[in-house]
A = this chain, B = another copy of it.
Amino acid sequence: MARPKDARSGGERAARSTINDVARIAGVSKKTVSRVINRSPLLNEETREKVEKVIRELGYVPNPQARALALRRNFLIGLIHDNPNAQMVLNVQQGILEALAGTEFEMVVRPVDRSSQMMIEDVRHFLERQRLFGVVLLPPISENDALARLCDEVGCRYVRMGSAELDDADHMVASNDRDAVREATDHLIEQGHKLIGLIEGPDGFRSARERRLGFEDSLAAAGHKLPRSLIARGNYTFETGVTAAERLLDLSPRPTAIFASNDEMAAGVVFAARERGISVPEELSVIGFDDTPIAAHIWPPLTTVRWPIVSMARSAARKLVGDMVGGLAAGEQPSELPSTLVKRASVAPPPA
């Protein structure tokens, strides 16, 4: 706060330099400067260095608005999401921003309403108006193929994030939820659980399906059966987790473990157990998915699957801008990232 008053005021506050200034001082034409900026290969090495020196001295930075107009393309990466979960959106933002740091790109956020009839047209207008460079599509809306087609149509790059592959590697960054959930459920089975409840995600979500499949894989491999009554459905919110858990916990015989398809719902399970005086993990083991902060902040801290959402988002954004920043090419960005089981205190062997 306390800084020298006049450190950077007045005289130094010169108007920003333009490409013309650079050209004039370097003794070349605008076009040549433009070539330097855009790394044109047909350019004399000496000329390039001369111009770059002037650029450095002037602290010249090309005007993004002018570039956007001339190129008919903005240096903006959009994040389109249909907020499934606050923490997840924020993690994705963090990942994207990490990838964009130090580049000329900025991130604009665009929440949409999946249930709206107008959604596709809204997004179309958004993309066309802003002429976005590219967009990152978050689940669950990333599963909408019409959106992907739309991006192609308006000439906007896109990368979809998801729980399983649903596009080619250039347009997709995925985790492998099925295997991850299988591993988590295996952990429950290894502890001796036989009656394991599942709280799955909403109908139509790919992540919900993948996680259920992983759950079923594990049970099938262990030779356990899965009566329909042990499957409840939630929509990834705490409240629906509570409701689903209440149904499962009123069953007789009662499951000794529950896998919830995300942490919010798993927190709901713990909450519901608490209401009924069922102690976790002594009488009920619980596993969640995502490893959001809530998992570590409730009592007992939740065993959960750490979903690599930040890395996925970073990877997605790099795929979009990768070839613009002279770094890794798009293809070199991983398209599938691994999840890991983090064991905390919500799992124990079933009561004898």
By a beta-carbon cutoff of 8 Å, the part of chain A in contact with chain B is 1, 3, 9, 13, 16, 61, 63-66, 68-69, 72, 74, 76, 86-87, 89-90, 93-94, 97, 104, 106-111, 120, 125, 128-131, 144-146, 153, 238, 264, 267-268, 270-271, 274-275, 293-294, 296-299
Contact = CB atoms under 8 A, between A and B. Distances in A.
B293 A271 contact: no
Nearest to A97: B111
A41 to B, nearest CB: 26
B1 A144 contact: yes
19 contacts: A1-B145, A13-B153, A64-B129, A65-B65, A65-B68, A65-B74, A65-B131, A68-B68, A69-B69, A86-B87, A86-B90, A86-B293, A97-B109, A109-B109, A238-B296, A238-B297, A268-B297, A271-B298, A298-B299
A206 B109 CA distance: 29
Nearest to A298: B298
Main secondary structure, interface of A, reads: helix
Contacts of A120: 3
Contacts of A298: 267, 271, 297-299
A62 to B, nearest CB: 9
Contact of A293 (B72, B145, B238): B238
Nearest to A241: B297
A293 B16 CA distance: 46
Contacts of A274: 299
A65 B72 CA distance: 8
Contacts of A145: 1
Given A93-B109, A238-B293, A297-B294, A64 B146 contact: no
Contact of A66 (B64, B69, B97, B106): B69
Contacts of A129: 61, 64, 104
Contacts of A299: 270-271, 274-275, 298-299
Given A64-B130, A106-B130, A271-B298, 8 more contacts: A65-B69, A65-B72, A68-B68, A86-B87, A106-B108, A107-B109, A109-B109, A270-B299
A335 to B, nearest CB: 23
